[in-house]
Structure 1
Amino acid sequence: MSSTPSPSVLPPASEPFWVVPVPAHHPYDHVRFRRVFATDGTRHEVVIVDLSKLLVCADRDDTDYVLKPVDDWHSGKVRGICEFLDPQNERVPQMPYVTIAKRRVAGLAGWLGLAHEGVVAFRNGQHRARYLAWAGAIWLPVEVHEREAPLLRELCGAVGMDGDGHGEAQGPQ
């Protein structure tokens, strides 16, 4: 299975979308995402993140709901997200929407203000992100408020890619 879909298998879209390869997945090898905040003048940006870094930061969230690993989900949940993300669906799902902040790490270095860590909270799309990591995705486009975008790029950004999908990422299409 190719990790780059051919244009012939992608239904036409009325707005740009990002194509994310999922090499360890069956029955499809990619998913498509569209922006959450797609209107002109939005104060949100798309950031291409390293999915493993994003989930490490999300696992630190102690104020919001953090999901168990996909292998611990019931089969109906797995089947539902698989069907929801299927690129053959006419409706293109929205990319995850996150917030990010820095906090002091536990211990002396954190107490002295010398060491910090990123904490990501999902506002939407946590199931999508965790499922795609399980399915072999390396990177993922996420939407974040413009004031948080630099921190997200610094802590979770995929190397060699920017918010417009340049680099190895495909997007927007």
Structure 2
Amino acid sequence: MSTSALPHAAAVAVAAAAGSEPVWIVPLHGHPYYDHVRLKRIFDGDDETCHRVVIVDARTLLECADRNDTDYVLSPVDNWHGGKIRGIRAFLDPGNPQIPAMPYVTIARRRGHGLLGWLGLEREGVVGFRNGQHRARYLAHAGAQAFPVEVHEREAALLAALCGA
């Protein structure tokens, strides 16, 4: 997916060296340890045709993830123990030779809470993480306004509509 068509195109850049896979550069605002993070796709080759990269608004994605009552939902980064924070910070460090994979998510719609939801007039997005929930929460905590996630192609349009940057 090209980031040039997105309203927040400057929020995430895609870089590719000749003969290598694309790398998404996610700027961090106000993070004292480094100013950006590099992410790559989880799926490549034949799997690429079944999965899409969607640039999501960090805050909106986590709001949808917090609605998930069936999967494991992490607490905010401020509640993590110091070792967990240091570990994810080291893992995402752009000086690390290994480039981390972007989060992999699923999304669905369900009835909203309250009378309008009960009547079927209000629906809300619910995100589940297949992989990368720590990464996503730390990126938002570190000041990323938007970042790429990978999603199955059947869910890509819904994710872009509900959580897209």
Give TM-score, length-normalised by structure 1: 0.83
Unpaired runs of 5+ residues, structure 1, are 159-173
Of the three residues 134, 152, 156, the one matched with 1:145 is 152
Q: Which moved more, 1:36-45 or 1:123-132?
A: 36-45
- Any runs of at least 4 consecutive aligned residues in structure 1 with deviations exceeding 2 A, and if so which? 11-14
Deviations 1:29-64 (A, max 9, x none): 000000011114530000000000000000000000
Which of residues 101, 106, 109 is equivalent to 1:94?
Answer: 101
The 3-state SS of whatever aligns with 1:42 is helix
Work out which of the residue numbers 113, 117, 124 in structure 1 matches 2:120: 113
Tell me which residue corresponds to 2:6.
Answer: none
Provide the rounded CA distance (Å) in 1 between the counterparts of 2:138 and 2:75. 11
How many aligned positions are there?
152
- Contact 2:50/2:152 (8 A) holds in 1: yes
Residue type at the aligned position of 1:30: H
Aligned-partner Cα distance in 2 for 1:27–1:95: 20
| Cα distance in 2 between the residues matched to 1:4 and 1:104 | 32
Q: Which has the higher helix share?
A: 2
- Give the counterpart letter for 2:95 in structure 1: Q
Identity over aligned residues, as a percent?
A: 66
Q: Aligned partners of 2:25 and 2:18: how far apart in 1? A: 13
Going from structure 1 to structure 2, the CA distance change for 1:110 and 1:93 (only over 3 Å counts) comes to: same
CA-CA distance at 1:4 after TM superposition: 9.2
Aligned residue for 1:122, secondary structure, equals strand
Amino acid at match of 1:155: L
Unaligned runs of 5+ in 2: 1-10
1:123 is matched with 130
What TM-score results when the alignment is normalised by the length of structure 2?
0.86
Q: Report what 1:33 is aligned to.
A: 39
Distance in 1 (CA, whole Å) between partners of 2:93 and 2:135 is 12
Q: CA shift at 1:78, angstroms?
A: 0.2
